[in-house]
Amino acid sequence: MGNYAENNMRLGIFVLVGLIVLIFAFYMVGKNKSIFGGNFELKARFSNSNGLMKGSNVLYSGIQAGTVKSLKLINDTTIEATLLIDNEVKSFIRKNAIVTIGTEGLMGNKVIQITPFKGNSPLVKEGDLLESKKVASIDEMLQTLSRTNDNIAGISDGLRQTVVEINKSTLWKLLGDKAAANGIESTINQMHQASINANAFSKDLEMILSETKSGKGTAGLLLTDTAFATQLRMALVGIKSAGDHANELTLQLNQMASDLKKDLDNSNGFLNFLVKDSLMIKKLNATMDNIEKGTDGFNQNMEALKHNFLFRGYFKKLEKEKEKRKTIDQSLRIDK
């Protein structure tokens, strides 16, 4: 009989351990879904739920804070989400906190992120409506990108024209003028720098494009990822500033060119100094090459952009507009 009791003890331990594991598992699962423990409700409104679902997680500053209890259509442009938030974080969320819809991980579920906003504000109360912020959608970002590229294309065109103008200008006559020569030297240095910059930017752009392209391959979902989106946006800002920079440069170059012209018209001194400086000439040539390469790079990027499926629509639209303009011009000419 002793053996029987011992076996019963073992059986008891076995069953208890099993039950504890099971209860633990239910607790862990329940904890994720806010089944246990106190909680309260908050509300937020969005124009687009982006695939948010009932039960999606709510993060406060990146920490699990609750779940989405329900989603309700208020009207044709507004969706109200009721959030079930753990009481633990209640004392941290203020009324001016901002609610956004984000993505969990690379291809994960949609989550709601509550981000604290600077400045003092009273704490939230049960049922408060929090302000939501629209995160720039990927479509919009890509449109900005193409506009920026357009700008860059225009800039590089301008750059090219300037270079041509410089080439056309009677540079050799210029070489005698020492002041002009100094000016040219510094300008050329600046141009050198600009072309290097332009090259680098075109490479950046190329990288972004290839990333976008491969995004189509592995998973279109990549495009809905917020992390990638911010990266893209940053790159776009870079390109834009580069474009601005380049624009300034062209302006300067234009100025330089007109200055040179003036110089040429007015005087013909110190040309010999420059002519003898072979190093300078080499530099000049290399710079010209660089500029050309840079603009080539831009052109290639533009081509690539045109071929990219994402921008195809946009470029088609652009072409259509061009054609429209042409026909308008023609009709205007005919009118004349």
Q: Which residue has the tokens 């004349």?
A: 336
CB of 204 to other proteins, least distance (A): 22
Return the structure tokens found at 260.
């040179």
**Shortest gap between Cβ of 219 and other proteins (angstroms)?**
8
- Lookup: tokens for 29: 């699962």
Least distance CB 110 / other proteins (angstroms):
14
| Shorter beta-carbon distance to other proteins: residue 18 or 313 | 18
Phi, psi values for residue 46, rounded to 5°: -130, 160
Please say whether the beta carbons of 52 and 74 come within 8 A. Answer: no
Figure out which of the listed residues 36, 47, 72, 107 binds other proteins, where binding follows CB under 8 A.
Answer: 107
Contact pattern from residue 17 through residue 56 relative to other proteins, giving x for each residue in contact according to CB under 8 A and a dash for the rest: xxx-xx--xx-xxxxxx-x---------------------
Stretch that binds other proteins, among 14-22, 40-48, 76-84, 115-123 (CB under 8 A): 14-22
State in angstroms the smallest separation of the CB of 256 from other proteins. 50
Pair 195, 293: CB distance under 8 Å: yes
Query: Closest approach of Cβ 41 to other proteins, in Å?
Result: 20
Nearer to other proteins by Cβ, of 31 and 216: the residue is 31
Minimum separation from the CB atom of position 51 to other proteins (A): 13
Residue 8 sits in the site that holds other proteins (CB under 8 A): yes
106 scored as a contact of other proteins (CB under 8 A): yes
Residue 195: CB minimum distance to other proteins, A: 36
Query: Minimum distance between the CB of residue 57 and other proteins, rounded to whole angstroms?
Result: 9
- Using CB under 8 A as the binding rule, whether residue 7 contacts other proteins is answered as yes
**Interface residue with other proteins, options 48, 87, 121, 218 (CB under 8 A):** 218
> Does 221 interact with other proteins (rule: CB under 8 A)?
no
Segment near other proteins (CB under 8 A); pick from 1-9, 135-143, 201-209, 251-259:
1-9
Alpha carbon separation from 73 to 44, 53, 150 (Å, rounded): 12, 13, 39
Identify which of residues 27 and 117 has a Cβ nearer to other proteins in the complex: 27
* Among 73, 196, 219, 234, interactor with other proteins by CB under 8 A: 219
> Measured from the CB of residue 138, what is the shortest distance to other proteins in angstroms?
19
Question: 223 to 262, contacts with other proteins by CB under 8 A?
Answer: none
Residues sharing a CB contact under 8 Å with residue 14, sequence separation 6 or more, in sequence order: none
Q: Which of 38, 76, 91, 105 binds other proteins (CB under 8 A)?
A: 105
- Point out which residues bind other proteins (CB under 8 A): 4, 7-8, 10-11, 14-15, 17-19, 21-22, 25-26, 28-33, 35, 105-107, 218-219
